Structure 1
Amino acid sequence: MHRGLVHALAWTLATGAAVTLSWWGVHTVMSGTAYDPPLAVPLTTQPLSSSTHSAAAPSPEPAPDSPSPSSSASPSAAASSAKPPQKAAPPSPRPEEQQGDGGDPGKVKAYPVTGGRVVFDLGTTSAELVSATPDAGWQMQVWKQPYWIRVTFTKAGREMSVFCTWNGHPPLVETYEG
């Protein structure tokens, strides 16, 4: 009886060690793949314009026009009024100005389809997948090649594919339901 318990304990410890080692190996390999959570990109319905930044600039600028008791206060007021526009000027680039592969200026566009949503960064000569999110109950698969990207959503025999191709032409996005 004692011998059987020792064998069972040894088997349990060996199995636990093997499962732990296998999980660690798979986790290490899978940590840098397409299964990482997609990055969120803010999408706006209207493009940002420089007028939004200039609208904020007039409020601090009237300070230099106001009378000041000393001439040294005026340069400090001018310096303080110059700082807010400088801070407001370098916000994150608009989606239309974000960079795609190889420094290609791109335009981030979302494609909501049956089964999920796909977001591409479309440049003039290439494209990049920003995110692909399946709807509840749908499965998703992504294929990336040098001149095309395919995202397929599947559920109960239904299949919806979004293709982005750019082989010798600007990126073109097409959807197919099968």
Structure 2
Amino acid sequence: MSRGLVHALAWSLSTGAAVTLSWWGVHSVMAGTAYDRPRALPITAQTATASPPGPPEATSTRRTPPPSPTPSPRMPGGPASPASPPPPASSAPAEPTPSPSPARQDASGDVRGYTVDGGRVVFDIGASAADLVSATPEAGWQMQVWTQPTWIRVTFTRDGREVSVFCTWHDHPPMVQFDER
């Protein structure tokens, strides 16, 4: 009887040690994959009196001071309008519309902004690749960003609803597509 208890105790200890070691290894690997949410950069419209475009105002290593708040019924970066009516509530999905964004005058390409239900996404689209400039969720929406060598996906979610903006450039020039579920 005592021999059986010794075997059961040895088995329990070795199994517990193996499970603990496995959990610790998986936990340390998974903890290294988490990332901070990307910060959205404000897009400011250039005025007719502005100087010619120069280098970008903000980069990943240098931040500009926050702009002074101005009363506007729209999101920062969008053109301010006196009173824009709320979008009509309908069961048919609204088509996302590209909105004008100031274009940088460099070799990287053309900066284009897209406003969809859930937020706004801005891409710098070149001849053979694209970069994410900013992604800003609307109030109450969550956002996730995936970046791969040949595509970028930004997904806005709220209450089981999902709106995705894809920019792909595998074997073709960059193109932007939308998916709503």
TM-score by length of 2: 0.50
The residue number in structure 2 matching 1:137 is 140
CA contact (8 A) 2:119 2:136 kept: yes
Runs (4+) of structure 1 moved beyond 6 Å? none
Q: Once the 2 structures are TM-superposed, how far is the Cα of residue 106 of structure 1 from its aligned partner?
A: 0.9
- Describe the SS at the equivalent of 1:124: coil
The residue number in structure 2 matching 1:124 is 127
The residue number in structure 1 matching 2:178 is 175
Question: 1:42-63 deviations in whole A, cap 9, x for unaligned?
Answer: 345x9x7xxx78xxxxxxxxxx
CA distance in 2 between counterparts of 1:106 and 1:34 reads 27
CA contact (8 A) 1:116 1:134 kept: yes
Once superposed, what is the RMSD of the aligned Cα atoms?
A: 3.0
CA contact (8 A) 1:98 1:108 kept: no
Question: 1:23-45 deviations in whole A, cap 9, x for unaligned?
Answer: xxx9xx97xx552422223345x
CA distance in 2 between counterparts of 1:95 and 1:145 reads 25
The residue number in structure 1 matching 2:39 is 37
Q: Which residue of 81, 92, 103 corresponds with 1:96? A: 103
Alignment size in residue pairs: 107
Question: 1:46-90 deviations in whole A, cap 9, x for unaligned?
Answer: 9x7xxx78xxxxxxxxxxxxxxxxxxxxxxxxxxxxxxxxxx556
- Describe the SS at the equivalent of 2:103: helix
Question: 1:106-140 deviations in whole A, cap 9, x for unaligned?
Answer: 11110000010000000111000011111110000
CA contact (8 A) 2:53 2:105 kept: no
Percent identity, aligned pairs only? 53
